[in-house]
Amino acid sequence: MYQRLVIKVGTNVLTRADGRLDITSISNLVDQIADLKQRGVELVLVSSGAVGAGKELLPGRANDEAVAQRQVYSAIGQVRLMELYRNLFAGHRLLCAQVLATKGDFRDDLHYDNMLNCFRALLQDEIVPVVNENDVVAVTELMFTDNDELAGLVARMVSADALVILSSVEGLYDGPPDRHESRLIPRVAAHDTGVDGVVQARRTSGGRGGMATKLRIARETATGGIPVLIGNGRRPNILSHLSTNDWPGTVVAATDNSAAAD
């Protein structure tokens, strides 16, 4: 069983087809995280969904992909999202905390150290950090590719035992996931480039990234010695598979860096 995890959950796990927050799906996710916490697992949750929550509160706006409008959606949506997480975690007698970051926080040594110290203190107090990109101030060069990139950076920052990326598909496929002949790729080595030609680059409807981005981030993270498990966040009790050896998605195996460290 992993002792410290970073779990990233994508927009399409947290929202319904109409773009509104899926309370049932979010509640199920929190239940699974609470079970992991009950088993003594330290855990950081990287959560998308703020912009979607904002669109739910401010529907029908024109030019809703403009940077300024996304900032507005994020600003009001983050409050809604954290309110929901706070209430759901409280049902398990758990506290959660909001952590907002930009790419600049990982480039500046002082910001990096301050954020790491914050994570350590929150985990020490058994509080669940809920991390998201600070869309209100993150523009152009300060923006992450998507929250997969943010999750990979956080996993390396806190020296996680594994990074779990939950999306609306089962994992990496050797073709378009909606084709009958496509097959799930259960395991990929960090340096294996053989799947590059078949993994789809297109993004899902609600998020900024795609499976090709997930594979790139997973490789970077696994090369740093942290395995990455990609799976379907809507599969019932998917996180329970973390305590077994039968992950139902794709595992990007970590590179063994112990020899280099000796």
Q: What would the pLDDT profile of 167-202 be if each residue is shown by its tens digit?
A: 999 999 888 788 888 899 999 998 887 777 667 555
Q: Tell whether residue 214 is among the known ligand binding residues.
A: no
pLDDT at 187: 93
Q: Length of the chain, please? A: 262
Range of the domain at 63: 4-261
Q: Tell whether residue 8 is among the known ligand binding residues.
A: yes
> What is the total count of domains within the chain?
1
Condensed to tens digits (0 to 9), the pLDDT of residues 148-160 reads: 999 999 999 999 9
pLDDT at 68: 82
- Distance of CA 23 to CAs 20, 27, 88, Å? 9, 6, 10
Percent of the chain exceeding pLDDT 90 equals 61
Token pair 């040594």 is found at 109
Q: What is the CATH number of the domain that holds 108?
A: 3.40.1160.10
pLDDT at 140: 60
Cα–Cα distance between 202 and 205 in angstroms, integer? Answer: 9
pLDDT at 257: 61
Where b means 16+ CB within 10 Å and e means fewer, 76-107 reads bbbebbbebbeebbeeeebebbebbbbbebbe
Q: Tell whether residue 48 is among the known ligand binding residues.
A: yes
Chain centroid to CA 232: 12
Q: Which segments in the chain show pLDDT lower than 70?
A: 64, 138-143, 197-198, 200-210, 257-262
State the CB neighbour count (10 A cutoff) for residue 240. 11
